[in-house]
Amino acid sequence: MGENKGKSFVLAPNEYMDLYLGTVEAYNAGDVEREISFYEAAFGAENREFTTNWHASIEKVTNTPAVILPVRLKGSKEAMVLTWSNEDRLWKNGSSQKMSLMEVYAFDENKKINGFSQWYRIDPDNEFGRPIGGKFFGETETDYTGRPLVFSNRGEVEILEQLMKDYNDMNAEEFAKPFADVSVLNDYKGKAMKMKKKDMAGLFSDYKSVNWVPYAIVPLKIYNTDAASGVQVMSKETRVFKNGRVWEKELFEIFYFDLEGKITSMTQYARDF
């Protein structure tokens, strides 16, 4: 792209391969200062805190290079080292991780690293960090039964965070916006209520104040299906009524988002303190 568009790559000297192997040796040893010594000054300063915190959280890490390819654009004094490697991580919290990596290290004309990009593949036997997992069963057996679940990422978390803020502000007009024109509330008592968006204006008429605090928000969908999703929300809610009564419960709720990203229903479970 830009002025380099169409230029050819040529092999760079093996010195860059040796420099890369030096960073790997320092990385595996958890030696932050030596690792940063291979970086250009500004790049090192920018990454010092992250690198320090990273090694502080790792008990042991072993990166094993499989392929190292030093290249540069023809006529350039800068270089890139393309690498393929396998990495085992043992975290101080006891979790372990295995992955395959593809990485690009950019070297400036002074042979210092000034850029870095990484792509990874999670080992299918990994303890955590996999993008797919679990299993969907459903109330009845369907074509989706037995499929794994994946995280959804269509802004559901941000929508629900804003929903909670509007709820706590008792702003009915803003609170209603994420809902479909007609949605269904399945409450913890087993009642199913249809709610029209236009009728939500009186939602807070009996309340003096409300406080809805999330513990976790988990957006999920069934693997290899359309974009509709179900978002699991664990939270605590307190409602103070104008007559002085206080309602307080821990909640588990599932918000269902349709293809347009609107909330069409919510199923609720509750636990008293």
What is the residue-level pLDDT of the chain in tens, covering all 273 positions? 567 777 799 999 999 999 999 999 999 999 999 999 999 999 999 999 999 999 999 999 999 999 999 999 988 999 999 999 999 999 999 999 999 999 999 999 999 999 999 999 998 888 888 888 999 999 999 999 999 999 999 999 999 999 999 999 999 999 999 999 999 999 999 999 999 988 888 889 999 999 999 999 999 999 999 999 999 999 999 999 999 999 999 999 999 999 999 999 999 999 997
CA dihedral 223, 227, 232, 238 (to 10 degrees): 180
The confidence score (pLDDT) of residue 127 equals 87
The confidence score (pLDDT) of residue 2 equals 67
Would you identify the CATH topology of the domain 2-122?
A: Nuclear Transport Factor 2; Chain: A, (3.10.450)
Burial 201-220 (b: 16+ CB within 10 A, else e): eebbeeeeebebeeeebebb
The confidence score (pLDDT) of residue 85 equals 98
Residue 261, φ and ψ in degrees, nearest 5: 80, 20
The confidence score (pLDDT) of residue 1 equals 59
**Domain chopping of the chain, boundaries:** 2-122, 149-272
Would you identify the CATH topology of the domain 149-272?
A: Nuclear Transport Factor 2; Chain: A, (3.10.450)
- Fold agreement between 2-122 and 149-272: yes
